[in-house]
Chain A
Amino acid sequence: MKPKRFGPSLYGTNRFGMASSSPLHVAVIGTGIVGASAAHFLAAAGARVTLLDASGPAAGATGASDGAVSVASKRPGPMMDLARHARAFYVRNEREGLFRGLFHRRSTFLIARTAIEADLVAQHGGDLAAAGERVVEIDRATLLKRIPGLGASVCAALEIPDDGHALGYEITERLLQRSRVSVRRNAPVSEIVMRAGRACGVAVRNEFLPADAVLVAAGIGSAPLLGLGEILLPRKGQMAVTDRATAGGPAIDGHLMAASYLAAKRGIVRDNSHIGLVIDPLMTGQFLIGGSREDHRGDHTTDAVTIAAILREALDLYPPLAGRRVLRSFAGVRTASRDGLPIVGLHPHRTGVVIATGFEGDGICLGPFMGASAARLLLGERPEADLSALSPQRFARVEAHV
């Protein structure tokens, strides 16, 4: 059964009983990349937006992630397809001005260092091609010309030339600037207030903030608000940032993604000590190197044993990093769902509540598009892509059978 659409009725029966002349008022919980995007597109459509965050803009995973806008890294299936929509959304908004100067096209190189890894990379390349993605086979000699200094163990690679790069906190800042929606910082929402089965506002500490509809885009903070403690889990990722290898522009001509990362994304390896290696050349000339995937870890600490393990992997793949210095280490907490897919859509039984969370490590890629899609759902419009695979309804159904 498809979830019932509440959208068209929002204007007609808002809590003031006013006609459609009164603008829709949405409370957006969470000022990460998804919430900021939703707020921007809601405001652009004429809605009134109250934008809240328990801390501040980009305080969660948005501000503690690499900047891969990558289809190459996605699990085959709906995620790969949606990532293609989301990346196209970046391309369009960079062209039209919203993301100008913040999104950069660059290749992703999927890199194998053993025969087994080469099989995995080939299989993943096949899945990408089947999804319509351009995939270029690249031999070691050509690859060495593109990325001089690559390690001796690198034996096979694929280039995904249409991927890109954007920093989550820069995108968030741009969306906030353009929309002119002001953020209420240090405003933790304790409850979505319901009246007669539909949302009528949110409670921040002891204050009631009225709204016609509520978007929950609060990352792992969404769990207590929605009772999703069994469905959402924190997955910590530790990363390191180096000093600049070049004065301006990326130090190497693409994003290096080891097969170990694909293995984790495809669910082949599930181990808190597993390193899914990526080497992300930042626009500043620095490298961002990650990362770990530590389930049920919601803290932001980093430990030397894990960072050292990441660096050893990185040195094996790209030895010139030995000449760099680590400036800082940090950890981001990804919000993963139990079945590995994000949760985006109408709340199964709370009318007026839309959910957009559970993006795991794909929030920078998917975030702006998903925020815009959530805005459309709130406005009673159809999203640009089929989001049925992400519907919260799938968990409601499971719950009902238990």
Chain B
Amino acid sequence: MCEAPILVVGGGPAGASAAASLAEAGLPVLLIEQRDQLGGAIHRLPAPGNASHIWRPARHRRNWARLTARLQAAAGRIETHTQTVFLGVDGQDRFLLDDRSKGLVFTRRLRAAIIAVGAVETIRPFSGWELPGVMTAGGAQVLLKETGRPLEGPILIAGSGPLLPAIAAQLAKAGNPPVAVLERGRPWNAPGALARLALSWAPMSEAATYAATLARSRVPYRCGATVTQAEPDGDGLKVGIRIGEVQEFLHVRHLLIHDGIEPNRTGIPFPEPDADVPVLLAGDGREALGADAAILDGHRAAMQLLTRLGRANRAAASDERGLQRARDFQANLARALHSEPVVPAPETVICRCEGRIYADLATLAEDASAREIRLMGRFGLGACQGRFCGPMIAALRGQPLPVTTPPRWPLRPVSVAALARLTTDETE
């Protein structure tokens, strides 16, 4: 019988790093990636047939080239399935994998699993965020990387975090600079945090490049500025913005919003490093520390697993040091960009799948159970199963969402026909 493989879910930097590290140690790896190519959100490659001229920092390009080379060198031990979506773990501990190219769901006997499914973007809801023309900045960045073309027409970018200047600079370099970047935070109010951030060479040099690009394209970057509402306006949007005490309106075609990232944990099995089939998390899906840290974290998870399987004992102190640096950087960034939460207007959409609004959320009892939030509130019942609205609801309720036990599968909608064609390698 073949040796049971180690499943690695996610072909981004953390998953690729974990897969390469395990294969280099001589273990068979089953690497699955939901898109048609490896790379994850950060190293997303142009769709076939598209020549991409999207500028990205040299450091990221180097990192991905190295990971790709390592995967190729160990290709004999890595079985890669692209267009394959992790559906979760069922009640009999099967890891369910939806191969969308073949149209069937399959499971395998596994030795262990490393789950590296990255982060989800969060937003702070305002009236109109669900309208066509509004999309997340991360979604827009993926689109840009895949198509090689910027969105057309005037673009406004708003929210908080380092992704805002990054996507703004990429759009500028691609030929359509945004009309403005609105950062919710007021970093100048946190000079201590700002000073410590300045000591982090790699991200700060990246930030300097973005700043220079934005300055060249005359893109205003305003701090302490927020979007208060958006409404349809011809073939675009009329966007209400507030800068300090001043309320203004801007007419744009696209509004890109983003308020940071959180580990994608909705329905992901709990890490159990000591179970018979150990499960570990890696990368932004474990702790949102960014792309560089994800590579270290994938390696760290692989080493932890090898130790657990008695194959090695190389707890890499350098990984931990690098992760701690990233953790400090993120903490300082959060301090610098901190802003108080705002209670949305009652009619603000919270769950876009089911069209539920803030007033619906506010009527739920404070100690409502997971089932009440889902069934009576109808939050988290739609196609995203709470992956997108979950963090928003937790932030608005000021408490973590009660966990649904057992974790639900499928994590993503799956074709009835594909699931009916379930294939297992169980000998029953």
Residues of A participating in the B interface, judged by any CB pair closer than 8 Å: 55-59, 63, 169-170, 173, 185-186, 242-243, 299-305, 307-308, 311-312, 314-315, 321-331
Minimum Cβ distance to chain B for residue A321 (Å): 5
Please, which residues of chain B bring their CB within 8 A of the CB of A308?
105, 419-422
Contact status B408-A303, CB under 8 Å: no
Q: Is B414 in the interface zone, CB < 8 Å from A?
A: yes
Q: Does the CB pair A326–B369 fall under 8 Å?
A: no
Q: Is B383 an interface residue (CB 8 A)?
A: yes
CB distance from A289 to the nearest CB of B (A): 8
A-binding segment of B87-95, B248-256, B287-295:
B87-95
The answer to whether A326 and B413 have CB atoms under 8 Å apart is yes
Asked if B371 and A58 make an inter-chain contact with CB atoms under 8 angstroms apart, the answer reads: yes
Known contacts A56-B371, A185-B365: does B96 contact A304 (CB below 8 Å)?
Answer: yes
Contact of A325 among B96, B368, B371, B413 (CB under 8 A): B413
Q: How far is the CA of A301 from the CA of B365 in the complex (A)?
A: 26
Please indicate which of the listed interface residues A170, A302, A323 has the most CB atoms of chain B within 10 Å of its own CB.
A302
Measured between beta carbons, the chain B residues less than 8 angstroms from A186 are 367
Does the CB pair B414–A305 fall under 8 Å? no
Task: Let me know if B383 and A327 touch, CB within 8 A.
Answer: yes
Does more than half of chain A's interface fall in helix, strand or loop, or is it mixed?
Answer: mixed
Which residues of chain A are within 8 angstroms of B382 by Cβ–Cβ distance? 327
Is B141 in contact with chain A by the CB < 8 A criterion? Answer: no
Nearest first, the 6 A-B pairs at minimum CB distance are: A301-B91, A56-B369, A308-B422, A325-B413, A311-B420, A322-B417
A326 touches B94 (CB 8 A): no
Partner of A304, one of B90, B383, B413, B416: B90
> How far is the CB of B229 from the nearest CB of chain A, in Å?
27
Query: Within the assembled complex, what's the spacing in Å between the Cα atoms of A321 and B371?
Result: 27
The A-contacting residues of B in range 363-409, CB under 8 angstroms, are 365, 367-369, 371-372, 375-376, 381-383, 385, 405-406, 408-409
For residue B421, which residues in chain A have a CB less than 8 angstroms away from its CB? Answer: 308
Q: How far is the CA of A378 from the CA of B365 in the complex (A)?
A: 29
- Within the assembled complex, what's the spacing in Å between the Cα atoms of A247 and B371? 24
**B376, B382, B416, B421: which has the most chain A beta carbons within 10 Å?**
B416
A contact residues around B405 at 8 Å (CB)? 300
Q: Roughly how many angstroms separate A323 CA and B408 CA in the complex, as a whole number?
A: 22
- B311 → A minimal CB distance (Å): 30
Q: Which of B107, B406, B419 counts the most chain A CB atoms within 10 A? A: B419
B424 within 8 A of A: yes
Q: Assess whether B369 is in contact with A55, with CB atoms less than 8 Å apart.
A: yes
B371 CB contacts on chain A under 8 angstroms: 55-56, 58-59, 63, 169
Q: Which residues between 192 and 209 of chain B lie within 8 Å of chain A, taking CB atoms?
A: none
Given contacts A304-B105, A322-B416, A326-B414, contact A58 B408 (CB under 8 A): no
Asked if B415 lies at the interface with its beta carbon under 8 angstroms from chain A, I say: yes
Judging by beta carbons under 8 Å apart, are A302 and B409 in contact? yes
Q: How far apart are the CA atoms of A215 and B261 in the complex, in Å? A: 48
| B413 contacts A301, C-beta separation under 8 Å | no
- Contact B90–A56 (Cβ < 8 Å): no
Cross-interface CB contact of A328 among B94, B365, B410, cutoff 8 Å: B410
In the assembled complex, the Cα of A169 lies from the Cα of B370 at a distance in Å of 13
Chain B, Cβ-Cβ closest to A64: B371
Q: Are A328 and B408 in contact (CB under 8 A)?
A: yes
Question: Complex Cα distance A296/B365, Å?
Answer: 33
Are B92 and A303 in contact, with the CB atoms below 8 A? yes
With the chains together, A305 CA to B420 CA distance in Å?
A: 9
**Complex contacts, A303 vs chain B, CB 8 Å:** 90-92, 94
Residues of A within 8 A of B375 (CB): 58, 63, 169
Contacts of B413 in A (CB 8 A): 243, 325-327
Q: How far is the CA of A160 from the CA of B406 in the complex (A)?
A: 37
Contact residues in B for A322 (Cβ distance below 8 Å): 415-417
Check A325/B92 contact, CB under 8 A, given A185-B365, A305-B422, A305-B424. no
For A236, the closest partner residue in chain B by CB is B91
Separation in Å of the B85 CB from the closest CB of chain A?
12
In the complex, what distance in Å separates the CA atom of A32 from the CA atom of B413? Answer: 29
* A residues less than 8 Å from B420 (CB atoms): 308, 311-312, 315
Q: Are A307's CB and B419's CB within 8 A?
A: yes
Bound CA span A322–B421, Å: 11
Taking the closest CB of chain B, its distance from the CB of A165, in whole angstroms, is 16
Partner of A59, one of B90, B369, B415: B369
Residue of B nearest to A60 (CB): B371
Q: A56-B371, A63-B371, A328-B408 are in contact. Are A302 and B416 (CB under 8 A)?
A: no
Residue of B nearest to A329 (CB): B409
Q: How far is the CA of A58 from the CA of B368 in the complex (A)?
A: 11
Of the residues A55, A56, A301, A324, contact of B416 by C-beta under 8 Å = A324
- Of the A-B pairs whose beta carbons lie under 8 Å apart in the complex, a sample of 24, sorted by A's number, is A56-B369, A58-B376, A63-B371, A169-B375, A173-B376, A243-B383, A302-B91, A303-B90, A304-B96, A304-B409, A305-B94, A305-B424, A307-B90, A308-B419, A308-B420, A308-B422, A321-B416, A322-B416, A324-B415, A326-B410, A327-B413, A328-B381, A328-B408, A329-B410
Contact, CB under 8 Å: B369 / A328: no
Question: Cα distance A329–B416 when bound, in Å?
Answer: 12
* Shortest Cβ distance from B376 into A: residue: A173
A227 to chain B, nearest CB (A): 28
Which residues from chain A contact B414 at a C-beta distance below 8 Å?
A: 325-326
Give min CB distance, A116 to chain B, whole Å.
24
Interface centre among B372, B385, B420 (most CB of A within 10 A): B420
Docked complex Cα distance between A57 and B107 (Å): 36
Beyond contacts A302-B91, A305-B94: 7 other A-B pairs, Cβ-Cβ < 8 A, are A173-B376, A300-B405, A303-B94, A305-B92, A311-B419, A326-B414, A327-B413
**CB-nearest residue of chain A to B422:** A308
CB interface residues, B 337-374, toward A, < 8 Å? 365, 367-369, 371-372
A59 contact set on B, CB distance < 8 A: 369, 371
**A138 CB to nearest chain B CB (Å):** 26
Residues of A within 8 A of B365 (CB): 185
| Known contacts A63-B371, A326-B413, A327-B383: A300-B92 contact under CB 8 Å | no
With a cutoff of 8 Å between Cβ atoms, the chain B residues found around residue A169 in the complex are 371, 375-376
Chain A nearest Cβ from B3, distance in angstroms:
23
Decide: A185 near B416, CB < 8 A? Known: A304-B422, A305-B92: no
